[in-house]
Amino acid sequence: MHHNIPQIVSLKLNEKELLDRITFEFSHHNDEILSVSCEAAASLANSLLTREAIPDIRIRFFINPEYNIGIQQSRLQIFESSGVTGHAIFKDPRFLGYLRYFIYGPNLPNQVIVEFCNLAYPYEYISGGEIEDLREMARSLTREHNLISKDVACEFFKLAIECRINVYSAQSIQDAVRTLK
C-alpha cells in the first residue's frame, strides 16, 4: 500500500467497543439507536482527541474556516453559533459524520482513494495543468464507480487536502465533481 494513502485511525480495545455502538447512517436511525450512537460518539471522540489519534488535517477540516470555503465559519463555529458548544458538540447527531471522517478518512471506495492519491502524490507544488488532471480524474472516478456526485464532492475535497493539495485547488476538484451530471 502506498504510504501516502489516507489511513484509518488505529483504535484501542475500549474505542473499538464504543465504535461498535455507533450507527453512522442517519436515514436508518430511530431515536434509541441515535441516542446510543451519540453517547458512544462523544466518548470515542473524547478518547481519540485526548490521545491525539486523529490526523491533524482532519482536525483542521473541522476547526479552520479556510477549509469551509464560501462560508465565513469553520464547521466547529457553525455548531457553536447554533448554541452547541464544548463536549455537547460530540453528542450532537450532526457530529457523527465528522467522527466518521476523523476515524476512516474520506468516504470513498478504496480503489478511488488509491488511484487519486497515486496521481496527486508526486506533485510537491501543483500547477494549473496538474489540477485539471486531478479534476478530470475525480470526475472520471465518480462516473466509473457510479458515485453520486453531490454525495462525494466534499469527500474528494477531503481526499485532496489529505494528499497535501492546497485548499483552493481542493475546492476546484470538489466543484468539478459537484457539477458532474
Domain boundaries defined on the chain? 13-104, 110-178
**Distances in whole angstroms, Cα of residue 6 to Cα of each of 15, 26, 57, 113, 158:** 20, 24, 10, 8, 10
**How high does pLDDT run on average in the chain?**
91
Predicted TM-score (pTM) of the model is 0.91
Give the whole-angstrom CA distance, residue 134 versus residue 77: 30
Q: Taking 60 as the threshold, does the pLDDT of residue 124 lie above it?
A: no
Higher pLDDT: 55 or 24? It is 55
pLDDT interval class at 1 (50, 70, 90): very low
